[in-house]
Structure 1
Amino acid sequence: MRALVDNLPTLASELRFLFLKNPRFPGRLSDAPNVQEITVKAAANGPATAWWLPRIVDLSGIDLYHSPANILPRGLDIPSVTTVHDIMWLNQPHWCNSHVAGIVDRLFYSSGLRHALRRSTAIATVSEASKAEIVRHDLAPADRVHVTRNGVATQFRPTSKGPSTLQHLGLGPDARYILTVGQNAPYKNHPVAIHAFHQAFADRPDIHMILIQRRQSANTLRPLITKLGLTDRVHTPGTIDAEELIALYGSAQALLHPSLCEGFGNPLVEAMACGCPVITSDRSAMPEVTGGAALLVDPEDCGSIATALRSIVNQPDKAAAMKAAGLERAKAFDWREFANANLAIYRNVLEG
């Protein structure tokens, strides 16, 4: 979203843009002269937006509507573009939320996704793997689906600053650790990451694991960590800011990202841009995103993951080569190019 807001007005100065803004955002989203902003109290992906947006926002004079997060509002009578990051809510909903309380989420998101795929004039998605899944699901033909690959912010880069999180966790500045970053959802496969870490380093008390979870649930993984005897070695510090995350990437032995599925996988590119070796899954978008710069593993095979972890920790030359390869690969991802790719879709739809 930030990439679109920052880049579209200057990339297409002849077009006018209307940004719908959450009331919690202070000030203006953009100072560009071709931007108008309206504050909308409804949540961007909530029921009011999904079902009644044309009733709560005046869209007269708008020629194209872009919905950037999987769901297209109903009742639109103008051409539309929807960015569909993945379709897990359709083909693997239990990977998104396996709890009974998640039934409402499943109904909401699956219905919203189906509507977006059927009714959008064009579909944008963030990887070739995600496009293939959308087309395979047979709700949108291939000629309506376009890849707009994510970028990586320039702030993600190698740094000499040590992470202060280590001190807060009672670790020394030279502590060696494996880093895992991702939201607390089943498809992120964090229990398997912990099991693999235990298998790899049960006899290496000097190696730690730091798990950064968005939407962290303190009770979800703690019983497993305790059962494996890793209470003092697997750390879940909770929410951290971007600067601290960059420092953690830069000092980690490796990023372990064994997801079962990804539309893109932002931590992969962030880690590579910070000079962190990456271990990730051999399926979905992850091989495509890492482009030969990562170690690929079977995310359902703890032995495969453990072997990869040990190879990086025990072979400094291999880790150094992966760091260099990752830094080079990360150069391929640029948010301005992402905005340009979206703009190309807009122009195509407007001219169509």
Structure 2
Amino acid sequence: MRVLILSKACIVGQYQTKLTALAAKSNLQLTVVVPPTWRDERGIVPLENRPAQNFEMIVAPIRFNGHFHLHYYPTFPDILEHVLPDILHIDEEPYNFATFHALHALRRIAPKSRVLFFSWQNLVRRYPPPFAWMEQYVYRHVNAAIAGSSESQRVLRRKGFQKPIAIIPQFGVPNSFAPRPSTRGSNCRVVGYAGRLVREKGIQVLLHALANVNGDWQLRLLGSGPALDSLQALARELGIAARVQFIPWISSSEMPNFYNSLDVLVVPSLTRPNWKEQFGRVLMEAMACGVPVIGSASGEIPNVISDAGILIPENDAPSLARALADLLSDPTRRQQLGALGRARALANFSERRVVDDTYALYQKLLDTR
């Protein structure tokens, strides 16, 4: 089968291991279209192109880079003419212009191809025209969808999508995310966060919590975003600036080392009227590395952590402070939660499972053609 994937997310090198595993499947010829960069709150995210690929990667120009709803690939119709896929996998939300543009071109160039989209959306949101029109067009003309979570599946059903939906995370955890021997000589306990520096991620709650945790600790905040200055100011105001390290960016291949440098990872996300945590990928990556995790009750976080970590109420700095104090002072508990988290990550979020489930969906689509 000839499969064509359109995905801005696959500019991340660690995500490309999923593509390598897919391309290794029997009778699957894979082509992947990515942009040269993507722009978001963190700035410009460059393509991490990994060598020795067993699939074709086409780096296509992108218009309206950084505009989630409006971006598209003007040369995509030419790519369709070149590939003529049996399956088009659009790794985008159904209301995006990129999805509409790709699907509209496919219906003209390769009308017998099967097509699916991906969705993380876990809140029912109604869009004005033309996005509402594009969303309904996509619903009518695709053959299936992948939802990243059960909440995303429920949202699609509530919005009227009646075709098959497979629940598969966008990416699984590659084998490189595993426990590694510690090289730290210090007894200082290290708390970590990785992700966007924005208000809804709740990092300010983490700072307030740590300001009330005794003992020798350090906080490592990996990421960038518009809240950087306010978070640095808050750390100074709380008197903990010397113990907080801001790390702007590292390559995806360095993420396993980052997780393994931590004693605990915290994801203190805060639900907003137009957003709640869609998955918390960093949770499953840290869990795969055997690092204990603490997460708030926002969105999908409880389903990712389950009983393999610590859940706290949203926006509750005292509860977070107590959880951190207990965990940082109890190496046995950290070891127990680390083992539980790794077992859960491998059982539910492994890259192999994501690839197998995606390949099975491809086969099902072709069998029903």
The bucket for the TM-score relative to the shorter chain is 0.7 to 0.9
Q: Distance in 2 between matches of 1:107 and 1:278?
A: 41
Q: Name stretches of at least 5 consecutive residues in structure 1 with no aligned partner.
A: 94-105, 164-171
TM value normalised by structure 1: 0.77
Q: Tell me how far 1:206 sits from its aligned partner.
A: 1.9
Q: Tell me how far 1:233 sits from its aligned partner.
A: 1.9
> What RMSD, in angstroms, separates the aligned Cα atoms of the two structures?
3.5
Q: Distance in 1 between matches of 2:363 and 2:90?
A: 16
Q: Distance in 1 between matches of 2:310 and 2:289?
A: 17
- Identity among equivalent positions (%) equals 23
TM value normalised by structure 2: 0.74
Q: Distance in 2 between matches of 1:5 and 1:205?
A: 44
SS of 1:221 mapped into structure 2: helix
Among residues 8, 23, 30, which one is paired with 1:9 in the alignment? Answer: 23
Q: Tell me how far 1:110 sits from its aligned partner.
A: 8.4
Among residues 176, 180, 183, which one is paired with 1:162 in the alignment? Answer: 183
Change (3 A) 1:188 1:29: same
Q: Render the CA deviation track for 1:228-263: whole Å, top value 9, x for unaligned.
A: 222112221222345654334224231111223332
Question: Are the equivalent residues in 2 in contact too, given 1:246–1:274 (CA < 8 A)?
Answer: yes
SS of 1:82 mapped into structure 2: strand
Q: Tell me how far 1:178 sits from its aligned partner.
A: 1.3
- Matching of residue 213 in structure 1 with residue 231 in structure 2: no
Q: Distance in 2 between matches of 1:296 and 1:157?
A: 23
- Matching of residue 132 in structure 1 with residue 154 in structure 2: yes
Change (3 A) 1:12 1:4: farther
Among residues 62, 69, 85, which one is paired with 1:42 in the alignment? Answer: 62
Question: Are the equivalent residues in 2 in contact too, given 1:178–1:209 (CA < 8 A)?
Answer: yes
Among residues 302, 310, 315, which one is paired with 1:287 in the alignment? Answer: 302
- Matching of residue 66 in structure 1 with residue 89 in structure 2: yes
Question: Are the equivalent residues in 1 in contact too, given 2:18–2:172 (CA < 8 A)?
Answer: no
The aligned runs of 1:72-111 (5 Å cut-off) are 72-74=99-101, 75-76=104-105, 77=107, 78=111, 79-87=114-122, 91=125
- Matching of residue 270 in structure 1 with residue 280 in structure 2: no
Identify the structure with bigger relative contact order (alpha carbons < 8 Å, sequence gap 6+).
1
Paired position in structure 1 for 2:353: 337
Among residues 246, 253, 257, which one is paired with 1:236 in the alignment? Answer: 246
Change (3 A) 1:157 1:234: same
Q: Name stretches of at least 5 consecutive residues in structure 2 with no aligned partner.
A: 1-9, 11-15, 38-46, 271-275
SS of 1:187 mapped into structure 2: helix
SS of 2:92 mapped into structure 1: coil
- Matching of residue 176 in structure 1 with residue 189 in structure 2: yes
Among residues 252, 257, 262, which one is paired with 1:252 in the alignment? Answer: 262
SS of 2:32 mapped into structure 1: strand
Q: Distance in 1 between matches of 2:25 and 2:87?
A: 17
Change (3 A) 1:250 1:29: closer
Question: Are the equivalent residues in 1 in contact too, given 2:139–2:161 (CA < 8 A)?
Answer: yes
Paired position in structure 2 for 1:120: 142
Q: Distance in 2 between matches of 1:113 and 1:191?
A: 36
Q: Render the CA deviation track for 1:44-86: whole Å, top value 9, x for unaligned.
A: 8768863755545343733321111334142231432111123
* Greater percentage in strand: 2
Aligned length: 323
